[in-house]
Amino acid sequence: MSQDDVSIHGNSGSGKLLLILGLLGGIAIGGGLGFYYFKNMAPATEGQEQERKKPSGPLLTVGFERIAVPIYLRNENSSRFVGNYFVDLAVQVYGDDNQILVKRSQPQLQHAFIAAISQNDLMQEDSPLQLDHDKVAAVLKKKAAEVVGPNVVENISILNTMRLSR
């Protein structure tokens, strides 16, 4: 019996050592993988951010002419039809690739622009029958980013708005 006790205790010491080494190895591998994963998921530094935002190519314009948009004046729980507007837009992008992307997406952009203008309150506060061009441009730029992707559209300018009387 004493020999059995010696052999059990002798094997148990090496088993514990292997168990500890296995646990330490697993922790080291897991820690390394976690570091690698979170290193790649970390937000970009300012230099990397500017590197991604650098435009390539000349500033080009894609025109959207005579977009017919119904405008509603919204107050709390009610909305009142103000009239139809024709809106002329200039969408500015950097480079030929972005210009081609915007031209290919023109129908989707036009639909998104009409929905954005007619669903938001974009009228001037002092003149409720006039569109606020700054508000419209900001809303349309955000909508363009949703359709064609971020950092494609540099600027949107409202060239002309004309209200049709009822």
pLDDT, tens only, 52-110 = 555 677 889 999 999 888 877 777 777 778 788 888 999 999 999 999 999 999 999 99
DSSP H or E run through 119: helix 106-119
Single-letter residue type at 36? Y
For 32, the domain range is 2-42
- 115 domain residue, yes or no: yes
CATH code of the domain containing 89: 3.30.479
pLDDT in tens, 103-133: 999 999 999 998 888 777 777 778 767 778 8
Residues 72, 139 within the same domain: yes
- 52 domain residue, yes or no: no
Residue 158 DSSP code: E
Return the exposure string of 122-151: e unless at least 16 CB atoms fall within 10 Å of the residue's CB, then b: bbeeeeeeebbeebbbebbeebbeebbeee
Instruction: State the Cα torsion 123-125-128-133 to the nearest 10°.
Output: -30
Tell me what the pLDDT averaged over the chain comes to: 79
Domain count, the chain: 2
